[in-house]
Amino acid sequence: MSDVEMKSPKKKSKKSSKDKESSEDAKAAAATSPTASVLKPYEERVKAVNIIAKPLADKKSTKKCHKLVKKAASAKRIRRGVKEVVKGLRKGEGGLCILAGDIYPLDVYSHLPILLEEKSVPYLFVPSKLELGAAACTKRPTSVVLVKDSDGGKKAGGKDFDGQELMDTLLKEAKAYNPVNVN
């Protein structure tokens, strides 16, 4: 007998048309909604934050943070991720740093609040890394975003930043937090 005759025939999977349609609908729904966390209420997301997530933005400020990150991403005035943010801070870039509060293990970015305080860069925590990534126009969750305060006249052609007043209100809120006086 030859090798061809010894092999058993391949089994065809029999899926009903309903199964195919439901799997296609699920794929389409997953493609249209970038994150499942968007559907969770703010109070539920706050329960998942880690212990160092202070100052944590309230519900209204979280929406402002996401709006600011989205505008800054379209203007190419952000740095995404721990490595990029640390590199930007070492180069002397300033602005507002927005960190996700649901990052585990903490060792991934536990050094950032200290580095930000040394460089006098205000920072805020938001509850969800998934929503921060979606606001930063990426498909992946993002742990930290640095919104640069000035572009230096490069790339933007010297035009004003669209979300400057939004950034000013969030900077005021972040600077009001004093980590020395916290219990």
Read off the pTM: 0.73
Q: Which residue has the higher pLDDT, 107 or 151?
A: 107
Phi, psi of 97 (to 5 degrees): -105, 130
CA 112, CA 143: separation in Å to the nearest integer? 11
Tokens 């933005």 appear where? 57
**In the predicted model, is pLDDT for residue 19 greater than 70?**
no
Q: Using one digit for the tens of pLDDT, what is the confidence trace for 168-179?
A: 999 998 888 866
Q: Which domains does the chain have, with CATH numbers?
A: 51-181 (3.30.1330.30)
